[in-house]
Structure 1
Amino acid sequence: MRIKGEKLQIMEDKIVSAVRALADSINSGSNVAVDMSALIEVTSELPLSSFDYWERFIRSEFYSARMEASPLKWEVCSRTKELVTWLDLISFNGYKREEALQALSGAAPNTFFFSLATRRLNDWVPQVRKAAREKLPDIARSTDPKYVVDALCVVLSNWNSWGRIEKEEKEVLLNVICEKEIAKCLRARLVSSASGPMASLFSQLGRTPILDGQIEEIARSAIQPSVRAKAYRSLFEGRIVWVEGRRWVWTDIRYCEGRLKPIVGERVQEVKTSLLDLLERASEDRSSIVRRVSAEILIRELDNLGSKARVFAERFASDSSHSVSERGDFALKKLDELERANVS
């Protein structure tokens, strides 16, 4: 814990130094573009998993640094049009956040700053959300696709918890996803990432057409077993399923008892490969997670596979994974029951 605390302190010190340097250059009253290179460098090192913390920390430090300007500097600033920077996207002032979105153009300098712009789609001020809807597509098209994809991987895993984002804002993000280069990078990320919430990302990307015709390749090549399992399930079922959100359902209103029920969406997929071929591939996958999915599908499709059903059932029953073998045993029992019923 001590080492972790030391690393956190070092990072905070770097950010404070970079933020104060930026604030000093703005407070000088010069109309020349400010140098954000130090802040860009340090924010490029920040983990997106702690984004909320760093956004609050940087906002607080930037505000404090601006407030420490001498009266003379504030007098100079009042006579000149104040420069707008990317940090104004997290200003305490909603008018400043809106102004920043309207004024900024060109590429976001790194993933952190593109994430700042993206999060304005969930801003508590409606006018800021409107400005974000209008400007984010242009910013995304200008920004390095890697930065955009890094940000989207986090956003799409968490946006169901955003309390203010609405259908219009989600449509903006879905359109960004469909940009050619961004879509290409997202598909590559699904296949190549060894960690992260890629299975959840796969489901959310299923809202768009960017995975159409690509799911079999993902099922074969994705590094993460959970992604391959999701892809195979989508092929078996002919659809991609995702969670839209959650709504409260009363289970016993007399005692004020209830639970959050997932709201599920789906998109139909055209699958050209036969069920037998898909079962063959999935049953030979190196991960038991994928083999278990194929065993579940076997049980569901026992009546439609003819003599091949027993071949697969025996293969699964002898699997080294207990979760797979128990499904194989169940399939064999069901086949025996069907045979006895047919004989009688």
Structure 2
Amino acid sequence: MKNLEEKSKEIEFAVKEFASSINSITNSTGDMSSLVEATSKLELKNIDHYERLIRDEFVNYSNLFMQSKWKFWVRPIKELTWLDVISSDGYKREEGLYALSGAAPNAFFLTLVIRRLNDWVPQVREAAKEVIPSIIEKSKPEDVIEALTAVFLNWDSWGKIAKADRQMLLHISSIESLAVGFKSKLISSISGPMPSLFSQLGRIPILDECLNEIANNAMQPHMRAKAFRSLFEKRIFWIVGQEWKWTDKVYNKGKLIPVIAERKISVKIPFSDLLNTSAFDRSSIVRQVSAEFLIRDIDSLGNQTRTIAEKFAADKSNTVSERGRFILKKLDEMALNNN
């Protein structure tokens, strides 16, 4: 797999080709094909790095080409392009956003546009808010899902995005075609921070009806465990930011702690069904969650509680077997007290 340095070199070459084409006499918009191809292969988790790289290289190469082609009687004319939305000039970013039309070339460029909702210039944020719905509507659903995934996984660190703009993106995500795509992604992904994506999508009820399906079928054990926990607790919670907590004011010490928000959900699945399903999951991570909730509601299964507890106590995982032994001990204590 190519590392960051190799991918960066590919991007630099593609930006150079684009800058060369956009400054040619016959083409004022440029040929983005090589840049689109190069950015389609990128992991969006590194988009900060690639955005800075593309902006800097585009300016450098554009200036170089302009100097080599300059003639005092020719005034260079350049139409706005997708790269203007990441210009260092706020006026250009705003103008570039309003000039966009049609679908995004790929998920990378769509993400660049959505990131302008966190721009430090208010007018740019407003422009992004106006054009994003139309661009998303015309873009490929798979590109929209990838772009929104990248945004949802990182927007806790965005200090300038408005609450209404967050709600706009979440509302867009609830469109049926996208909601189905997100569910599929949560279930089929074998890597990546799917539990975090699940939490962010949990701000709205698009996943409520398929929670049980996710809990039973997700490829990642942590994703199944997260879904089962939500079903047991009848709530979905997510991180909305961080706040500073002093640990020692005398020595000026402290730490950032996550700020949690939650949404209650309606669960129609009986506790016994949830427990019996999760207790026999192939992953100890899920079985641990199952044992935890049996401890919380030890009276819920009646005589079946001991059978499940014995299964937990014999589990190969120490964390699960410890909980199983604890439940058996509690059951024995309860039996003695009742005699």
TM-score (norm. length: structure 1): 0.92
Q: Which range moved further: 166-175 or 231-240?
A: 166-175
Counterpart amino acid of 1:94? G
**Contact 1:129/1:169 (<8 A) preserved:** no
Q: CA deviation at 1:265?
A: 1.2
**Contact 1:101/1:132 (<8 A) preserved:** yes
Find the counterpart in structure 2 of residue 188 from structure 1.
Answer: 184
**Contact 2:23/2:30 (<8 A) preserved:** no
TM-score (norm. length: structure 2): 0.93
Q: 1:211 aligns with which of 188, 207, 210?
A: 207
What's the secondary structure of 1:185's corresponding residue? Answer: helix
What's the secondary structure of 2:246's corresponding residue? Answer: strand
**Contact 1:27/1:77 (<8 A) preserved:** no
**Number of equivalences:** 337
| Cα shift readout 1:125-182 (whole Å, capped 9, x = no counterpart) | 1111111111112111111111111122222122112232231231222122112222
Q: CA deviation at 1:75?
A: 6.2
For 1:233 and 1:9, the matched residues in 2 are separated by 40
Find the counterpart in structure 2 of residue 72 from structure 1.
Answer: 70
**Contact 1:251/1:257 (<8 A) preserved:** yes
Find the counterpart in structure 2 of residue 89 from structure 1.
Answer: 85
Percent of aligned pairs sharing the same letter: 52
For 1:297 and 1:9, the matched residues in 2 are separated by 47
Counterpart amino acid of 1:28? S
Q: CA deviation at 1:86?
A: 0.6
For 1:189 and 1:39, the matched residues in 2 are separated by 26
**Structure-to-structure mapping, 1:1-344, within 5 angstroms:** 8=4, 10-28=6-24, 30=26, 33-68=29-64, 69-70=66-67, 72=70, 76-78=74-76, 80=77, 82-343=78-339
For 2:72 and 2:256, the matched residues in 1 are separated by 51
Q: Per the alignment, do residues 17 and 284 of structure 1 end up closer, same or farther by CA in structure 2, a change over 3 Å counting? A: same
| Cα shift readout 1:12-66 (whole Å, capped 9, x = no counterpart) | 3432332122222322355664321111111112222322111111111100111
**Contact 1:316/1:325 (<8 A) preserved:** yes
**Contact 1:27/1:73 (<8 A) preserved:** no
Q: Per the alignment, do residues 8 and 298 of structure 1 end up closer, same or farther by CA in structure 2, a change over 3 Å counting? A: closer
Counterpart amino acid of 1:141? E
Unpaired runs of 5+ in structure 1? none
RMSD of equivalent CA atoms: 1.9
Unpaired runs of 5+ in structure 2? none
For 1:273 and 1:43, the matched residues in 2 are separated by 44
For 1:306 and 1:156, the matched residues in 2 are separated by 42
Counterpart amino acid of 2:183? R
**Contact 2:234/2:265 (<8 A) preserved:** yes
Counterpart amino acid of 1:72? W
Q: Per the alignment, do residues 152 and 310 of structure 1 end up closer, same or farther by CA in structure 2, a change over 3 Å counting? A: same
